[in-house]
Amino acid sequence: MNLEELFKNLGKAGAKLLLNKEEKKSEVINLDQISSADILPGVLKRLVSQGEYNKAEDMLFSEWSEDCSGEMYNIAVDFYGLLREKTDEELRRGNFSREEIYQGLKEIEEKMKESKKFRGE
């Protein structure tokens, strides 16, 4: 499944869940109105549930490089919160470590500070 297909499916599922609406075959979801910050949390949660921690972290930092917003910062903090809930054994099976969680949190803190300096905040 490619990323665009994944976004479409997540958008449909999100609309069904949030709006309590069944999908109609004639409904079209306009991807231009959906930002990566709308989709990313669901994608990250899915990857974490599949044990794909490194893939999820790579995706997070890829999106972060495009958008250093407070919203993206919150998504990153939530992502590392999900990882902190994993046991050491689960992390090991996913080729990840508790140390990497703390390194990732430190890195997003630094990047957030840098982006605020750049924006003059």
pLDDT tens per residue, range 42-91: 999 999 999 999 999 999 999 988 887 889 999 999 999 999 999 999 99
Half-sphere exposure of 29 (CA within 13 A, CB side): 18
The pLDDT tens digits of the residues spanning 5-43 come to: 655 666 666 556 555 555 555 566 666 677 777 889 999
Half-sphere exposure of 116 (CA within 13 A, CB side): 9
Phi, psi of 19 (to 5 degrees): -100, -5
Show me where the domains of the chain are located. Answer: 1-34, 35-119
